[in-house]
Structure 1
Amino acid sequence: MFTILVVDDSPFIVDVFVTMLERGGYRTVAAYGGEECIEILKTVTPDLILLDIMMEPVDGWQTLERIKENPATKDIPVLMLTAKQLTPTEAQEYGIYIEDYVLKPITHRELYDAIEHVLSRRQAIKSDMDMARQSGFDTEIISEYARLSKSIDVNKRLMKILETTYNFNDSKARVSDEISRAIKSMEMNIKFQESRLQQIKGELSGSPQPK
């Protein structure tokens, strides 16, 4: 059974998501703010953290940074679950740290699907890494493969959110130059990462280079 830490400064919201998750067969731990989340992580290692952004006095992004700065907690997957619309700046700055960004309100099925996507992607990447290690490939290229595999998937999901938020594909919608540049930059970065990932996959499908 997977354990999920739910973090929100609203007890009502925490209770709602705890109920939803337990109904879906997950074990839950509740934290009613960023500071409590950090304290709980000193003794509990969940399989995933659902983290709200709009909290006080420590918001979700600040909490995320503290989680990722700590070697003991940096590898715990974090899914941002919030009513706050994602901005291109946030997508570029925090995309490397998060597993997904899910907007409230959300149905039971949407929540379960988001969690299962994160956990299954994580397991698939781990299996690929284990196979590559067993085949004798270099640690650096295996780590790069894992980083790119996750980053591309996360950034594509963030791009979909941004395109929906700013009606980017609607010719009648007015999008500021700054937002347009940021989204184009993300698109170019994804294409670059995909090209590099394909190159790495080609290397991993062959034989390890002698050291």
Structure 2
Amino acid sequence: MEDTILIVDDSPYIVDGLVALLKRKGFTPIATHGGDEALVVLKTMKPDLILLDIMMEPMDGWETLDQIKANPETKGLPVLMFSAKKITPEEAQEHCLNIEDFVSKPVNPSQLLDAIKRIFERRKDVKAEAGVAKESGMDAGLIDEYSALRKSIEVDKNLLAVLKNSSGMQIPGREVHSDDLASIKKLEDKIVTDEQRLREINENFPKAG
């Protein structure tokens, strides 16, 4: 395994820890200490995954993500966000299409590695399935929609769990803000709609193997 992972965090302590962890697991980590430095590195190399912190200065993770996705040369790179900051419903809604997953700090090594594994496996499976569908003559638009749904449903489910946890709704007697409840309900409805659409496409979608 020699997948390259670009680490973007303005904390040298966090970066050093992640570099050591990823090296032990067979990855090739590339360390950067902020959004500006990461964008410079991305001009000369394209990693297999970007591990991007949200709380950074002067350019935070969301700003960095926007610049990565605005650049045609880097917009297709998968990004795994992580942060000690509680993600807001607004952030989840605005950025969910541009990320592959979200992991909370302090980073649990097994949780992080599981997320990385899921991302690589999902992208590999979707690429294989899309190739088979293309060879079968399936409409390119449906193939793209299928691939996008496979990712978005998984990301949305993870973000939903994060939002529910940060809202405190699992705590008995805890009063949850109406805006948070509305955002959670909206995301739940989106997941249901997307899963229904995925099933519709899946009925005629040829599978690899």
Equivalent position amino acid for 2:142 in 1:
I
Give the structure 2 partner of residue 11 of structure 1.
Answer: 12
Is structure 2 residue 31 aligned with structure 1 residue 24?
no
Equivalent position amino acid for 2:60 in 1:
D
Cα offset, 1:110, TM superposition = 1.7
Give the structure 1 partner of residue 186 of structure 2.
Answer: 185
Q: Deviations over 1:166-208 (max 9, x none)?
A: 13244522111111111111111111111111111113259xx
3-state SS of 2:97 partner: coil
Cα distance in 2 for partners of 1:34, 1:60 equals: 7
Cα offset, 1:159, TM superposition = 0.5
Q: Which residues of 2 match residues 93-112 of structure 1 at below 5 A?
A: 93-112=94-113
Q: What is the TM-score of this pair, normalised by structure 1?
A: 0.94
Equivalent position amino acid for 1:38 in 2:
L
Gaps of 5+ in 1: 207-211
Cα distance in 1 for partners of 2:171, 2:191 equals: 22
Q: Which residues of 2 match residues 83-122 of structure 1 at below 5 A?
A: 83-122=84-123
Cα distance in 1 for partners of 2:29, 2:68 equals: 18
Q: Deviations over 1:134-160 (max 9, x none)?
A: 111010000000001100010001101
Give the structure 2 partner of residue 146 of structure 1.
Answer: 147
Cα distance in 1 for partners of 2:6, 2:127 equals: 22
Contact 2:129 2:206 in 1 (8 A): no
3-state SS of 2:154 partner: helix
Cα distance in 2 for partners of 1:2, 1:114 equals: 14
Give the structure 2 partner of residue 164 of structure 1.
Answer: 165
Contact 2:130 2:143 in 1 (8 A): yes
Q: Percent identity?
A: 46
3-state SS of 2:110 partner: helix
Cα distance in 2 for partners of 1:5, 1:202 equals: 37
Contact 2:132 2:206 in 1 (8 A): no
Q: Deviations over 1:69-111 (max 9, x none)?
A: 1111011100011111111111111011001110111232222
- Structure 1 stretches of 4+ with a deviation exceeding 3 A read none
Superposition CA RMSD, Å: 1.3
Equivalent position amino acid for 1:81 in 2:
F
Contact 2:133 2:206 in 1 (8 A): no
Equivalent position amino acid for 2:94 in 1:
E
Give the structure 1 partner of residue 68 of structure 2.
Answer: 67
Cα distance in 2 for partners of 1:196, 1:118 equals: 22
Give the structure 2 partner of residue 129 of structure 1.
Answer: 130
Moved more, 55-64 or 85-94: 85-94
Is structure 2 residue 69 aligned with structure 1 residue 53?
no
Equivalent position amino acid for 1:132 in 2:
A
Cα distance in 2 for partners of 1:85, 1:112 equals: 21
Equivalent position amino acid for 2:48 in 1:
D
Cα offset, 1:128, TM superposition = 0.9
Q: Deviations over 1:28-49 (max 9, x none)?
A: 1111110111110000100000
